[in-house]
Amino acid sequence: MREDRHARPGEAALAELRGFTPVRPETILAFLVGEQRLAAEGRRHLVACGVAKARIEFSGFWRVGRAAD
């Protein structure tokens, strides 16, 4: 449960991921799912750390502020 009920979903998880720098990025397999920003920005961070795009699966299931179809 989030301490701040007004915090954007996924923000704490994204902050944790941004604090992670893999020692051997070629060994990383990542699966990022959740709110759109978490998935997209998490992927960008890992790619910037040297993780190959092909080794990252990601999906933003929903976006804050947009109604589901």
Convert the pLDDT of each residue in 41-53 to its tens digit: 999 999 999 999 9
Q: Where are the alpha helices (DSSP H) in the chain?
A: 11-18, 36-48
Contact 43, 49 (CB under 8 A): no
For residue 41, give both structure tokens: 């920005």
How far apart, in whole angstroms, are the C-alpha atoms of residue 20 and residue 5?
A: 25
Predicted confidence band of residue 69 (pLDDT cuts 50, 70, 90): low
φ, ψ for residue 15 (rounded to 5)?
A: -60, -40
Convert the pLDDT of each residue in 8-48 to its tens digit: 778 889 999 999 999 999 999 999 998 899 999 999 999 99
Look at the alpha carbons of 38, 44, 49, 52 in this order and tell me if their dihedral is positive or negative.
Answer: positive
Would you say the pTM of this structure is higher than 0.95? no
